[in-house]
Amino acid sequence: MNAAPSHDLEQLLSILDLERPGEDLFIGQNPPKVSTPRTFGGQMLSQGVVAAARSLTRGNPPVHALHAHFIRGGDVHKPIEYHVQRFRDGKSFANRQVTAMQDGEELCTMLVAFQDALAGLEHAVAIPEAPHPEGLPTMGELFEGYEDKIATFVDALHPIDVRFANDPSWKLREAGRSLDHNRVWMKTDGPLPDDPVLHVAAMCYASDTTVLDSIITTHGLSWGFDRLFAATVNHSMWFHRPFRFDDWLLYATESPVAAGARGLGSGRFWMRDGTLAASVTQEALIRHFPRKK
C-alpha cells in the first residue's frame, strides 16, 4: 500500500467531506478535475451514502444496501445539495432517503439501508480465477497509444487503482474480439482512514466504472472507437461483509441482458481471500449509432 494517498485520492476524500448547513442538509462539491459534461454517477452515490450515514442518530449500524435512481445529469460547475429524509432509526436498523438536487431540481434519489450484522445462514459463490493484481498493467500503461481515442477516461480523476485482468474494451476492439465478462482488481490509490463509511463510499464511487463494459464488449464495441451513448438509469448495491477498500478487491461483472435501448450490468466484489464483500446491479440507457460505411 502507498505511504500516502495520491493527489486524486485526496481530491475524492475532499469531496466526501460534506458541508452540513442543516441537520438533514449536506452540500457536496465537485472535484476541480472534471472531464465529463455531467456529474459522474459514482460521485453522487458516494456523497449520498456519506450524507445518509452522517445523519444516523442511534448507534452506528453499517450500510447494508442502497438503491439509486438517476433522474437528470448534474452541472459539474455547481455544488450538489443532499437532502436527507429519516424513515427509521431502530436499535439495529436504520433507513434514509437521500435526494441530490441542483437549482431546485432532482438529480438522483437514493434509499440507503443500515443494519447490524446478525448470526445466520452463510454461503457465497466462489471468486472467479484471475491473475494477481500486482503483475497486471496499470491504467496508465493501458492508456498508452489510445490517449486521443479515450481522452475522457485518460483525463478523468483517478483515485482508484484499477488493474484489468482481461483486455479493456479498446484493446479488444482493436483486436476484433468480443468478451461477455469483465474482471478488474480495484483499490484506492493509497490508504483510507479507518472510518468504514469512507470505504463503502469509495467502493460506491468505483462501482460505477467498468460495470457497463460487458454490455458493449459482448458486441465487440468500445468506448472511443464506436459511436456510443450511455447514461445510468439506476444503480443498486448490497454490502455483505465488512471490507477495506484500500486493499485489493476483484470486481467481476457481466451483462445478462440488453433490450429496449437499455443494458443491465451486474457485478460482485471479492476480497483477495475469496470472501464475497458486495454485489452490484446497474441499468443504463445505452445506444449504438453505427458509422455509415
Tens of pLDDT along 152-190? 889 889 999 999 999 999 999 999 999 999 999 999 999
pLDDT bin (cut points 50, 70, 90) of residue 3 is: low
Among the options 11, 209, 217, 232, which is catalytic? 232
Q: Which of 10, 12, 21, 13 has the alpha carbon at shortest distance from 82?
A: 21
Average pLDDT over residues 223-238: 95
Is pLDDT of 2 > 70?
no
255 neighbors 214 (Cβ within 8 angstroms): yes
Within 36-157, residue ranges assigned H as helices are: 41-54, 139-143, 151-154
Is pLDDT of 69 > 70?
yes
Asked if 148 is an active-site residue, the reply is no
Asked if 282 is an active-site residue, the reply is yes
236 φ, ψ to 5°? -125, 145
pLDDT digits (tens, 9 = 90+) for 120-142: 999 999 999 999 999 999 999 99
Among the options 47, 253, 281, 282, which is catalytic? 282
Radius of gyration of the chain (CA): 19
> For 34-43, 244-253, 272-281, which range has the lowest pLDDT when averaged over its residues?
34-43
**Exposure of 4 in the CB half-sphere (CA atoms within 13 A):** 4
Among the options 161, 208, 213, 246, which is catalytic? 208
Q: Which of 147, 163, 121 has the alpha carbon at shortest distance from 249?
A: 163
Measured on CA atoms in the order 97, 98, 102, 107, is the torsion positive or negative?
negative
Q: In the beta sheet, which residues pair with residue 113?
A: 65, 95
Is pLDDT of 85 > 60?
yes
- Write down the residue that cell numbers 484499477 correspond to: 162
Residue 152: the pLDDT is 86
54 neighbors 40 (Cβ within 8 angstroms): no
Q: In the beta sheet, which residues pair with residue 269?
A: 251, 278
- Write down the residue that cell numbers 500500500 correspond to: 1
Average pLDDT over residues 53-57: 95
**Exposure of 86 in the CB half-sphere (CA atoms within 13 A):** 13
Report the percentage of the chain scoring pLDDT > 90.
87
- The ranges assigned to domains in the chain are 7-116+137-288
Grid cell for residue 236: 443498486
User: Higher confidence at residue 270 or residue 293?
Assistant: 270
Residue 1: the pLDDT is 47
Length of the chain: 293
CATH number of 7-116+137-288: 2.40.160.210
